[in-house]
């Protein structure tokens, strides 16, 4: 499933797929209308007032005018798209460009314009002044006019869409929606296991993946098959989202003997490595996209704490989904029930830190952001059902208290932050500690 999600994620980010599909449909429609004998009765004498009724010369003039206008509108749309992408890259981060490119509505509008241009071109080249009145494809010219009218309304919609797409809150909401969708595919309703347990036995060898780039997907099922054939246990020291160097102890083989060269190549092929991170298996991918928006909002050149607060709110909602579900299993077993692969996956503390550490550091002198972070951490209390989850949130509260205590902010703001941190801490149950006396 990881490979499938990775392919779907790559396809969603391609701007050309939907326009290409719509263009193909337009060409098919034009060819069918021109060759279908069943449409021969659709003429100006059919009693249909809306059907085009001019001669061939008038039809060529009309379609030529429509084509010229369509080319102008398409150029306008392309120019607007590049301007918006440039502004978004500067204000919100270049890695968010894929979010705009993956927008289905934007792709559909571009496809409508391209498809209409191709349709009009095909119909236009079929018109000949020697055609009689009955030989003119009246329905084809009428459909071309209707498609052009649809493009006019699509242009209006596109301007509205683009104008709203550069509003920071809308971008944050869109990225958060993508994050929640990705999390729903990765988090399962199953009992989780202890994170990254160590395997028993002697290490036969270590294997480097010998490639540079980001791990996008790890095919754990294939690794289980390889480990079963070798009667070994594979301990994976890397995970989706990690950046690899060519050499390192990426995989430990625990078993009686080393793997064959063929098995090593099959093992390396189980890791999909690319030039950028992918949301297919990386739980922290969407979190880091939201964090990047907040960091740019908190930069001295922008100084927009309200956008950072909107990001903190969405990060809290994403962490609630993560904490409300068990994390993916770290042990993968074969058909006989024997552990064959031990995976290294994101843990709760790491994801809470990935969500809030950078924002806490960048917003150390912005009390409103620190106060909102404390409130969001306290709001997570109802889903902190395990000691690991409680410790992850409490650790972030401790970091928040230390940051606010050492930041150069007025004492009144420091006191307000400390008060909100204390309120959040009281909402989180503390695990019992043996042998520790609490002062009263």
pLDDT single digits (tens) 179-234: 888 888 887 644 445 444 455 567 789 999 999 999 999 999 999 999 999 999 99
Q: Which CATH architecture has domain 203-270?
A: Alpha-Beta Complex (3.90)
pLDDT tens profile 63-114? 999 999 999 999 999 888 888 888 877 777 777 788 888 888 999 999 999 9
Q: What pLDDT score was predicted for residue 199?
A: 54
Q: What pLDDT score was predicted for residue 36?
A: 79
pLDDT tens profile 318-356? 999 999 888 887 889 999 988 999 998 888 999 999 999
pLDDT tens profile 19-49? 999 999 999 999 998 887 655 555 555 556 5
Q: What pLDDT score was predicted for residue 167?
A: 84
213: left (phi over 0), alpha (psi -120 to 50) or beta: left
Q: What pLDDT score was predicted for residue 439?
A: 38
Give the side-chain half-sphere CA count within 13 A for 203: 11
Q: Are strands 203-207 and 233-236 parallel, antiparallel or unpaired?
A: unpaired
What is d(CA 368, CA 71) in angstroms, rounded to the nearest whole number? 49
Q: What pLDDT score was predicted for residue 8?
A: 80
What are the b/e assignments for 243-253, b being 16+ CB within 10 Å? ebeeeeebbbb
> What mean pLDDT do residues 158-187 have?
87
- Angle 127-133-139 from CA coordinates, rounded to 5°: 65
> What mean pLDDT do residues 241-268 have?
93
pTM: 0.82
What is d(CA 135, CA 33) in angstroms, rounded to the nearest whole number? 13
* Most distant pair of Cα atoms in the chain: their distance: 103
Q: What pLDDT score was predicted for residue 434?
A: 44
Segment among 134-143, 283-292, 396-405 with least mean pLDDT: 134-143
Contact 233, 342 (CB under 8 A): yes
In the numeric block, the tokens 């209308």 are attached to 33
């Amino acid at each position: 499933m990881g490979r499938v999600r990775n392919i779907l994620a790559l396809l969603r980010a391609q701007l050309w797929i939907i326009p290409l599909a719509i263009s193909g449909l337009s060409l098919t429609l034009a060819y069918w209308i021109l060759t279908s004998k069943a449409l021969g009765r659709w003429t100006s004498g059919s009693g249909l007032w809306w059907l085009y009724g001019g001669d061939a010369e008038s039809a060529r003039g009309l379609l030529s005018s429509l084509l010229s206008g369509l080319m102008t509108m398409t150029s306008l749309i392309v120019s607007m798209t590049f301007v918006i992408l440039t502004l978004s890259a500067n204000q919100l981060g270049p890695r968010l460009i894929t979010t705009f490119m993956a927008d289905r509505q934007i792709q559909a509008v571009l496809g409508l314009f391209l498809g209409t241009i191709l349709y009009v071109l095909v119909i236009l080249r079929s018109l000949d002044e020697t055609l009689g009145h009955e030989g003119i494809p009246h329905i084809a010219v009428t459909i071309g006019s209707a498609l052009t009218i649809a493009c006019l309304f699509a242009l209006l919609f596109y301007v509205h869409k683009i104008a709203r797409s550069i509003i920071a809150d809308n971008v944050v909401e869109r990225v958060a929606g993508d994050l929640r969708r990705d999390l729903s595919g990765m988090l399962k309703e199953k009992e989780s296991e202890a994170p990254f347990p160590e395997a028993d036995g002697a290490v036969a060898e270590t294997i480097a993946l010998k490639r540079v780039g980001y791990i996008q997907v790890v095919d754990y099922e294939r690794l289980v098959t390889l480990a079963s054939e070798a009667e070994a246990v594979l301990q994976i020291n890397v995970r989706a989202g990690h950046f690899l160097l060519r050499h390192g102890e990426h995989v430990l083989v625990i078993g009686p003997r080393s793997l064959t060269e063929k098995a090593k190549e099959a093992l390396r092929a189980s890791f999909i490595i690319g030039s950028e991170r992918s949301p297919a298996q990386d739980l922290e991918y969407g979190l880091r996209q939201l964090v990047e928006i907040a960091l740019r909002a908190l930069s001295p050149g922008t100084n927009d704490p309200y956008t950072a607060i909107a990001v903190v709110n969405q990060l809290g909602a994403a962490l609630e989904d993560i904490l409300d579900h068990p994390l993916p299993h770290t042990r993968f077993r074969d058909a006989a029930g024997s552990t064959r692969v031990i995976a290294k996956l994101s843990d709760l503390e790491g994801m809470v830190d990935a969500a809030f550490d950078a924002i806490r550091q960048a917003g150390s002198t912005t009390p409103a952001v620190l106060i909102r972070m404390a409130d969001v951490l306290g709001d997570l209390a109802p889903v902190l059902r395990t000691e690991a989850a409680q410790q992850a949130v409490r650790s972030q509260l401790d970091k928040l208290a230390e940051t606010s205590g050492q930041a150069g902010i007025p004492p009144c703001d420091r006191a307000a932050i400390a008060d909100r941190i204390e309120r959040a801490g009281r909402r989180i149950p503390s695990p019992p500690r043996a042998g520790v006396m609490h002062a009263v």
